[in-house]
Structure 1
Amino acid sequence: MSIRHWPQGERPREKLLAQGATALSDAELLAILLRVGTRGMSAVDLARHLLAEFGGLGRLMNAGLPELAKHKGMGLASYAQFAVVCEIGRRVLGEELRQQTVFDHPQRVADMLRLQLGHETVEVSLALLLDTQNRLITQIELSRGTPAENTVYIREVVKHALLHHATALIVAHNHPGGSAEPSSADLAFTRRLSEALALVDIRLLDHFIVTSLQTVSFAQAGWMPSLPTG
């Protein structure tokens, strides 16, 4: 049955207008974006099918064109729509972070990092450079490598921080393999970076590990190094 034949209160668009977007399921939200289904499938049916095939909304929205086009009803137009939605989300979160104290909103930082890094198939490292109020000055991509190899030079991080007059920073990288547990190299890098930044009076506030399913904060997990004072 086509959505237009459903009771009005059960149609995704009417439900959104009456109850707000948070009342909609993932499939209903996606159906509004898709607008139409395919032969024998309503937009909601198609949305449910795609969510099951891709294993969730995040993986579907970040799918590449070749992968998306394998599915009936999906093509260049759908890929463009999904890419635009994801990029708008990134930019909205970025604007909010620039206007607010970043370190007071770790979940908002985590959300932005999930949007940016969660879909990456290679390891990518970022730095968020912060001012004296812990507001975002700019974001720097530090490195991009293969799934098994990614090198971040500590002197480059310090150079970027000094160039932008940052007084604090947050670093993040993704684990394409899916595990959010830090490796011994991750822990060692965090300590060495924190020590190097301390020499020029810049604080390392946090280090995030991002996967397609979660974002983990070193600070919240108790993994940040304790540096000597005085």
Structure 2
Amino acid sequence: MDTAESLMPREKMLQSGIGSLSDVELLALFLRTGTPGKDVMTLAKEMLCHFGSLYGLLTADFIQFRSLSGVGIAKYAQLKGIAELARRYYNVRMMEENSLLSPEMTREFLQSQLMEEEREIFLVIFLDAQHRVITHSRLFAGTLSHVEVHPREIIREAIKLNASAVILAHNHPSGCAEPSKADKLITERVVKCCQFMDIRVLDHLVIGRGEYVSFAERGWI
């Protein structure tokens, strides 16, 4: 009888479930085929080694990607499609499940929406009194290192949606998620403005590349 380690990714998935696959095996499952003189498992290992992680691979641009010998636009399109499919999945899941947000689900959703942005985006999730998602909105867009946020616009949108609570989020395209002094100041302003309208700010998450910071987890909200 074959052990799990000796099985090809598809057979291993059928026997032990998708969660049993390593990063290399999961990547090989999506790639399906190798390149001339290189089987798909070898190709998957080389790609992960070259980019350092699945994150590094899925966020690479085409110039970085084609530095791999024998790999072209078809494989690049496959992997970009995977990343976009994941982003859309979290988007739909957020709206269709209509469930209470967990910290993990919130973080995963925000990372899927903001992690690859090349400029700062300020996104707000609007919730009802039971903390179920009403909608989310990219209210402000900025530059590589700054986004101007207007608390009154957040309040106006929350009132229009009859929201009882909000979760704030923005990304740092530099990759480092550590909040700046400006991030802390604008969070304080938004919290104070929301308090006047009896709207709770549950958290503010800063999304970096493969990392995040939660104001709530740090006790800042």
Number of the residue aligned with 1:80: 77
How far did 1:89 drift? 2.1
Gaps of 5+ in 1: 1-6, 225-230
Number of the residue aligned with 2:161: 164
Number of the residue aligned with 1:119: 116
TM-score normalised according to structure 1 size: 0.85
> Which amino acid letter does the alignment assign opposite residue 183 of structure 1?
S
Can you list the C-alpha shifts for 1:107-156, whole angstroms capped at 9, x where unaligned? 11101111121222322211111112211111111222222222112122
The ranges of structure 1 where at least 4 consecutive aligned residues each deviate by more than 6 angstroms after the TM superposition are none
After superposition, residues 1-230 of structure 1 pair within 5 angstroms as 9-98=6-95, 99-102=98-101, 105-224=102-221
Secondary structure, counterpart of 1:181 in structure 2: coil
Cα separation, partners in 2 of 1:67 and 1:142, compared to 1, 3 Å: farther
How far did 1:191 drift? 0.8
Of stretches 142-151 and 121-130 in structure 1, the one that deviates more from structure 2 is: 142-151
Gaps of 5+ in 2: none
Secondary structure, counterpart of 1:156 in structure 2: helix
How far did 1:73 drift? 4.2
Query: Percent same amino acid among aligned pairs?
Result: 39
> Which amino acid letter does the alignment assign opposite residue 210 of structure 1?
I
Contact 1:59 1:212 in 2 (8 A): no
Secondary structure, counterpart of 2:217 in structure 1: helix
Secondary structure, counterpart of 1:194 in structure 2: helix
Report the aligned-residue RMSD.
Answer: 2.0
Query: Structure 2: how far apart are the matches of 1:170 and 1:74?
Result: 41
Query: Structure 1: how far apart are the matches of 2:133 and 2:70?
Result: 40
Cα separation, partners in 2 of 1:59 and 1:145, compared to 1, 3 Å: farther
Q: How many residues align?
A: 216
Query: Structure 1: how far apart are the matches of 2:107 and 2:86?
Result: 13
Query: Structure 1: how far apart are the matches of 2:47 and 2:64?
Result: 12
